[in-house]
Structure 1
Amino acid sequence: MLPRCGAVRAPACPPRRCVAPSLLDQTRFPPHIPAMTELSNIRNFSIVAHIDHGKSTLADRLIQETNTVATRDMKEQMLDSMDIERERGITIKANTVRIDYRADDGQDYVLNLIDTPGHVDFAYEVSRSMRAVEGSLLVVDSTQGVEAQTLANVYQAIDADHEIVPVLNKIDLPASDLDRVAEQIEDVIGIDASGAIPVSAKTGQGIHETLEAIVQHLPAPKGDPDAPLKAMLVDSWYDAYLGVIVLVRIIDGHLKKGDRIKFMSNNTTHHVDRIGVFKPAMAEIDRLGPGEIGFLTASIKQVRDTRVGDTITHEKHGTTDALPGFKPSQPVVFCGLFPVDSAQFEDLRDAIEKLALNDASFSYEMETSAALGFGFRCGFLGLLHLEVIRDRIEREYDIELITTAPSVIYHVYMRDGSMVELHNPADMPDLTHVDHLEEPRIKATILVPDEYLGDVLKLCQDRRGIQEDLTYAGSRAMVVYDLPLNEVVFDFYDRLKSVTKGYASFDYQMTGYREDFLVKMQILVNDEPVDALSIMVHRDRAEQRGRAMCEKLKDLIPRHMFKIPIQAAIGGRIIARETLAALRKDVTAKCYGGDATRKRKLLDKQKAGKKKMRQFGKVDIPQEAFISALKMDG
């Protein structure tokens, strides 16, 4: 049995994601705590919910109620340790904590909690966390009710065969309506909400009842302590002092310090240096048994050597049956990252390599652009993922960036029968060799109050959407649309929030590829193509989009001493044009009267100079112009 242990001091920034911790802080572990726990006394669970419904706050109260962290060391969003997570109020990485709890029946339990992100871009973190646990707390805001990502996340829990305990949060607010939200959960999700626990994660009301429900309603893990070691690799991240830290869930057998282990996907072997758990600071223990979640270090140098979903076993007398693993994450949005100052290219390379160490879902490759110089083509799970990576590079590494237009992967089918994946519109092959193009499609689920439904339907129709379903849950409509991903990746979410005054919620999943009449549209500034503004558009909308972009660029590009033509082109055909007038210096100011030919001579000389300047002059496009020109306003 695990005795109730005293509070463990949590460092100001948990070692999991420290930028530059001291060696002393990283390697100072609390005293050993025993690791043998009966399977019947273990509960592994995750917290799932829509964005801002109170997952991280509920996790804080569970930690506080059980004295896992001393009161003086408690802070808001205890498990969100990145600065960007705290500022945005979102969870980006799923985090783990081990809680010791003595229940009302007098039994001591070990609760392994995984706090998961709510945003659609980080659904991959949610899906793999689900595979490591047996149950979920479904947190629903009792003032807002069921939202789009409540549905998406709870369906992942149902797919993972979880026992689900509904929790109705924010009951301290005047707008809380428990009966309505419980009815919504039953109608929309289809699970029994009669025993839903009313909670205020802010005040702590209902926290004890939540802990009791976890112990009584969630199932204990299954496992054979005498079988060969079989452990699931749930997550991994790099630490400057300890190497790669691996988060594992033991299925069968035992894992001890000093064991020789093997990763079954690549057959690499390692010697285990440390074994421990998160409380939420790192606490070293003797061994991990079936059903337990903890970490190991084994002097592994690269995160790429530890594939998420891999099976870990002993080098000798190990298991022969590998776990099914997870599907690897697939980037869906691509864009170019270029330093504003080309001298910072090497700094950018170092920053991207360091970020990729801790984020396996972030991919990159080097590219060059005629307009922007050297940079990187990066793949992301969505636009929020892109924003987070960009903000971290600018903040943590002090590099000013230019971000090109986000694009998706197109399938280009050539006339010879081959297929090419197109990540960057600037790399579009010669159209004479192209048979047809296919673009990625998504299934979008939007929950919106009835009064804004018309605006949402119009927005989806404008983005070439095909309506699949429309149902009602009380006064809220649930619309399902088949949409092209390239119409969604830039500003669809912003427009949706604008037309619904922030009341709509949105979730999507990839459904496949479909052929459509797509063309590459280039923007020419002073007769020079700007790679960063090349985009793929539907042929029917190309002229409208080209005209809008030219008009915007005319306002965004500062005037020069010469006239600048701004054109949109498809192939060799110009479809829209605007002209930015030249700044004019009054060269005749010094001529007081006299022969008019003196003024004419000065004006002709100025005209010739402007012509030569336009031929050799360089047009500077400010960074804001790239982003602003690509947004579609209405």
Structure 2
Amino acid sequence: MTDQSLRNIAIIAHVDHGKTTMVDELLRQSGAVREGAAMDERAMDSNDIERERGITILAKCTSVEWDSPADGLTRINIIDTPGHADFGGEVERILSMVDGALLLVDAEEGAMPQTKFVLSKALALGLKPVVVLNKVDRPHADPDRVLDEVFDLFASLGANEDQLDFPVLYASGKEGWAANDLEAPRDNMAPLFETVIKHVAAPEVAGGPDAPFRILATTLEADPFLGRILTGRILAGTPKPGMTYKALARDGSLVEQARVSKILAFRGLKRQPIEEAMPGDIVAIAGFQKASVADTLCDLSVTDAIPSQPIDPPTLSVFISPNDSPLAGREGSKVQSRVIRERLYRQAEGDVAIRVTDSPNGDAFEVAGRGELQLGVLIENMRREGFELSVSRPHVLTRRDEDGTVLEPFEEIVIDVDDEYSGGVIEKLTQRKCELAEMKPTGGGKTRLSLHGPTRALIGYHGEFLTDTRGTGVMNRSYLEHRAHKGAIQGRRNGVLIAMGTGEAVPFALWNLEERGVMFIKPGEKVYQGMIIGENAKDNDLDVNPLKAKQLTNIRAAGKDDAVRLTPPRRLSLEQAIAYIDDDELVEVTPENVRLRKIELEPHMRKKRAKAMAEG
């Protein structure tokens, strides 16, 4: 059975190809936002970090109504998904809720790594995407070339004949128009709405409204008033507030029984309580205390859980522990191991791509995720909530195949760079055990490089990449597969400058230390013994004294009273700091500062590090 007046679609694309801007226009032109009413730019990016970085991190649902001349009034549930590969776990869950997808591709950049990743997931689920070539109004847009690239991508991913026969739209989300061809009038988004209603199937439901209620929970969030809120698409039945339902785990075992306190539906930018939800609709349910993502919420008579798609495993992990430096507890309010543990496990409940395990001694927690950005966003959120943490160097998660061969995660790396810098980039990455798969000119004096390489080869490389390309290069990465371990890879080449004492850094001392390397701190900052205050120009670590003041005498001499002029320090962001450190170093994260420090390794870790250095 289907509800012909309903459509569920997801918007999928590579990061910065215009998904959230497109949703803004769909909301305006459908009337979901009243004409003349104030609406923030990129309204769906409600998280502070999303707005600061201009990326979507959490998948969000909205809903619009469109009065089609042929089909009448139709409600379209739209899910805005993340575009960065590190948040691919969000995309994988969301696609199970929808019956179609809008695949947005930048008409200048073309198909990128995340485009390939999300499209492969959509095709595997049997979805038939509608291709939207966005930003065709850009000066260097080449929609014909990009359309050929997209078709080749569909074919390489094993799309069937129905999927290969995809409809194509040309659009500019910023200008607010879509068209069926490049010569058509560029008035509004009506062609996109009509194409969605025509080509996306209405949701199929198991039985009618009187069938036993069933829904698969795909997202989880915490509300200070309603508690746990689980979102999913209703497969059967009509849930009502006040009814008692149960939650089943993936294996069919009972998780809990609970009385539903509220059922919320997505209407425009708001989530409104409703008295009854229809099969096929996407709703949020409050009232459960233990149910989580991938659980089936259902009527008491149901015995079988709804099957859910497996999620790709994490590829990178860090150890997070309480901050135990001499400056601990001065800036944050949440410093206890117990509080940190609760916060990490709460994150893992709602994000299936995050995995948290306790260390044997119980004072540290291994947090595994998809990449440096995902882990960095988690730590940044905790920092803003008042936590103080110590974070270790990231390491990749390996596994063994049936023959006992060690496998490590590999990534597809796509780089757009000026022609003059392409040789240096290729040289650096091949030294890091990456292999060049493709190299082609993209016009405008730029070259696109496609490489395959180990995930660990890219840890800490991005800063070096920006230096080598004078800040003009763009690098995108996406998990590819696990392959045989590539052996030792050379890490950071420079040593660090380590403070010998505790106090406040003195300008005169930093001025004298500038010839030794690059400073990470400025005068007046608190330092302590073992804290890393800069990068050594040579490959060895060096103990230095940033507290040494100028000796005052009553003898005046030429040059003695020259003003101290310091070079501005290099400030490392949280992600840069985590990628920069070595195995015997930690990042100290507080609400106000990011510091680096040396640690004394355990004997077994010292042996392991010495062996790794001996192997190159």
TM-score, structure 2 normalization: 0.70
Task: Quote how far apart the aligned CAs of 1:82 are.
Answer: 0.8
Say whether the 8 Å CA contact 1:261–1:313 is kept in structure 2. Answer: yes
Verify the 8 A CA contact 2:495 2:540 in the aligned structure 1: no
Give the conservation status (yes or no) of the 8 Å contact 2:10–2:79.
yes
Deviation at 1:321, TM superposition (A): 5.2
Shift of 1:356: 4.9
- Following superposition, the deviation at residue 168 of structure 1 comes to 1.6
Residue type of the alignment partner of 1:51: V
1:454 to 423, 429, 434: 423
Question: What are the Cα deviations for residues 358-401 of structure 1, in whole angstroms up to 9, with x where unaligned?
Answer: 543445567799xxx9765543332112222232233343x565
Secondary structure class of the residue paired with 1:255: coil
Query: In structure 2, the residue corresponding to 1:237 is in which secondary structure?
Result: strand
The counterpart of 1:342, out of the listed 322, 328, 333, is 328
More displaced 10-residue stretch of structure 1: 224-233 or 88-97: 224-233
Q: 1:503 to 1:131 in 2, by over 3 A?
A: farther
The 1:332/1:96 distance shift into structure 2, 3 A limit, reads same
Q: How much has 1:586 moved relative to structure 2? A: 9.7
**C-alpha separation in 1, matches of 2:61 and 2:40:** 16
* Structure 2 partner of 1:312: 297
Deviation, 1:403, is: 3.8
Within the candidate set 245, 260, 266, 1:278 is matched to 266
Q: Distance in 2 between matches of 1:91 and 1:582?
A: 41
- Find out whether 1:488 has 2:488 as its counterpart: no
- The secondary structure found in structure 2 opposite 1:295 is strand
Q: Deviations over 1:548-583 (max 9, x none)?
A: 2247996459999999999xxxxxxxx956464798
Listed as ranges, the gaps of 5+ residues in structure 1 are: 1-36, 414-435, 519-537, 567-574, 592-619, 630-634
Counterpart residue number, 2:169: 197
**Per-residue displacement from partner, 1:129-166 (whole Å, max 9, x unpaired)?**
11111111111122322222222222221122111111
State the AA in 1 paired with 2:438: L
How far does the alpha carbon of each residue in 1:166-222 deviate from its partner, in whole angstroms, 9 at most, with x for none? Answer: 112223333333223223322344476984212121121222211111111111121
| C-alpha distance in structure 2 between counterparts of 1:565 and 1:383, whole Å | 23
Contact 1:124 1:329 in 2 (8 A): no
Letter of the 1:205 partner, please give it: W
- Which residue among 375, 397, 409 is the counterpart of 1:441? 409
Indicate the residue corresponding to 1:382 in structure 2. Answer: 371
What corresponds to 1:68 in structure 2? 32
User: Residue 227 of structure 2 is aligned with which of 228, 237, 243?
Assistant: 243
| In structure 2, C-alpha distance between the alignment counterparts of 1:112 and 1:310, rounded to whole Å | 22
Is residue 278–residue 294 contact of structure 1 (8 Å, CA) maintained in 2?
A: yes
Q: CA deviation at 1:441?
A: 2.8
Please report how far the alpha carbon of residue 471 of structure 1 lies from its aligned counterpart in structure 2 after TM superposition.
6.4
CA distance, structure 2, for counterparts of residue 563 and residue 101 of structure 1 = 65
8 Å contact from structure 1 (residues 336, 375) kept in 2: yes
- Between the aligned partners of 2:407 and 2:495, the Cα distance in structure 1 is 22
Distance 1:255 1:463, change over 3 A: same
* Aligned residue identity for 1:342: A
Calculate percent identity across the aligned residue pairs: 23
Give, in whole Å, the separation in 2 of the partners of 1:561 and 1:275. 53
Q: Helix, strand or coil for the counterpart of 2:410?
A: strand
**TM-aligned CA deviation for residue 264 of structure 1:** 1.4
- Deviations along 1:431-477, whole A, 9 cap, x unmatched? xxxxx99572313242546835433422321212245x336596664
Residue 255 of structure 1 corresponds to 239
Structure 1 residues 253 and 147: CA distance shift in structure 2, 3 A: same
* CA RMSD of superposed structures (Å): 4.2
Are 2:73 and 1:108 aligned? yes
Q: Secondary structure at the match of 1:77?
A: coil
TM-superposed CA distance for 1:44, in Å, is 0.8
TM-score by length of 1: 0.68
Instruction: Classify 1:163/1:450 alpha carbon distance in 2 versus 1 (closer, same or farther; 3 Å).
Output: farther
Indicate the SS of the match to 1:511. Answer: strand
Match for residue 32 of structure 1? none
Classify 1:263/1:211 alpha carbon distance in 2 versus 1 (closer, same or farther; 3 Å).
Answer: same
SS in 1 for 2:137: coil
Give the aligned partner of residue 297 of structure 1: 286
Instruction: Figure out how many residues of one structure are paired with residues of the other and give that number.
Output: 499
Q: Aligned equivalents of 1:78 and 1:130: distance in 2?
A: 21
- Contact 1:564-1:580 at 8 Å conserved across structures: no
After superposition, give the CA deviation of every residue in 1:8-35 in whole Å (9 maximum; x if it has no partner). xxxxxxxxxxxxxxxxxxxxxxxxxxxx
More displaced 10-residue stretch of structure 1: 73-82 or 575-584: 575-584
> SS of the counterpart of 1:219?
coil
Higher Rg: 1
